Chains A and B, each alone.
Chain A
Amino acid sequence: MIRLIGIAVGLVFSFVALLAFVFGAYAAATDPAEPTAEHEFHLAPRPLHLASDGPFGKWDLQQLQRGYQVYKEVCSACHSLKHVAFRDLAQLGYTEAEVKAAAAEWTVPGIDPNTGETTTRPGTPTDYFPSPYPNDIAARAANNNASPPDLSLITKARHDGGRYVHALITGYRDPATFEVDGKALKMEFPDFETPTGLYFNPYFPNLNIAMPPPLTTDGQVTYADGTKATIEQMSTDVAAFLTWTAEPTLVKRRQTGWPVLGFLIFATGLAWFAKKNVWAAKPKQTETV
Chain B
Amino acid sequence: MSFPWARHYEPKAPLMRYLDEKLPLPRLVYNAVGGGYPVPRNLNYMWNFGVLAGFCLVLQIVTGVILAMHYAANAGVAFDSIEHIMRDVNWGWLIRYAHANGAAFFFAVIYLHIFRGFFYGSYKAPREMVWLLGVVIFLLLMATGFMGYVLPWGQMSFWGAKVITGLFGAIPLVGEPIQIWLLGGFAPDNAALNRFFSLHYLLPFVIAGVVILHIWALHIPGSSNPTGVEVKSESDTVPFHPYYTAKDGFGLGVFLILYFLVVFFLPNSLGHPDNYIPANPLSTPALIVPEWYFWPFYAILRAFTTDFILPAKLWGVLAMFASILVWFFLPWLDKSPVRSGHYRPLFRKFFYILVVDVLVLGYCGGSHAEEPYLMISQLATAYYFLHFLVILPIVSMIERPEPLPFSITEAVLGEDKQAALGESGQPAVSGSAN
Contacts and interface: CB of A to CB of B under 8 A. Distances in A.
B273 interface: yes
Contact residues on B (Cβ < 8 Å of other chain), bracket: 35 or more
Contacts of B86: 247, 249
B246 A3 contact: no
B242 A10 contact: no
For the complex, would chain B's binding face be called helix, strand, loop or mixed by DSSP majority? helix
Given A28-B371, A275-B247, A278-B242, A21 B329 contact: no
B10 interface: no
Interface stretch (A93-101, A219-227, A280-288): A280-288
B66 interface: no
Nearest to A245: B87
Nearest to B5: A288
Contact of A156 (B97, B276, B312, B390): B276
A19 B385 contact: no
A3 B336 CA distance: 13
A264 B333 contact: no
Interface in B265-296: 265, 267-268, 273-274, 276-277, 286
A88 B371 CA distance: 47
Q: Which of A9, A10, A159 has the most CB of B within 10 A?
A: A10
Interface residues of A, number: 60
B333 A6 contact: yes
Contacts of A275: 246-247, 249-250
Contact of A7 (B234, B379, B393): B393
Contacts, number: 182
B80 A6 contact: no
Interface in A146-164: 149, 152-153, 156-159, 161
Contact of B382 (A17, A28, A153, A265): A17
A109 interface: no
Nearest to A267: B253
Contacts of B333: 2-3, 6
For the complex, would chain A's binding face be called helix, strand, loop or mixed by DSSP majority? helix
B260 A205 contact: no
A257 interface: yes
A2 B252 CA distance: 40
Interface of B: 41, 80, 83, 86-87, 93-94, 97, 233-235, 238, 242-243, 246-247, 249-250, 252-254, 256-257, 260-261, 263-265, 267-268, 273-274, 276-277, 286, 303-306, 308, 312, 315, 318-319, 322, 326, 329, 332-333, 335, 370-372, 374-375, 378-379, 381-383, 385-386, 388-390, 393, 409, 413, 417-418, 421
Given A6-B389, A268-B254, A288-B233, 10 more contacts: A6-B390, A9-B322, A9-B389, A17-B303, A18-B379, A157-B276, A249-B87, A264-B260, A282-B238, A282-B243
26 contacts: A6-B326, A6-B389, A10-B388, A10-B389, A11-B389, A14-B386, A16-B304, A17-B379, A153-B83, A156-B268, A156-B273, A248-B87, A257-B265, A261-B257, A261-B260, A264-B253, A264-B260, A271-B253, A274-B249, A275-B250, A278-B242, A278-B246, A279-B243, A282-B41, A285-B413, A288-B235
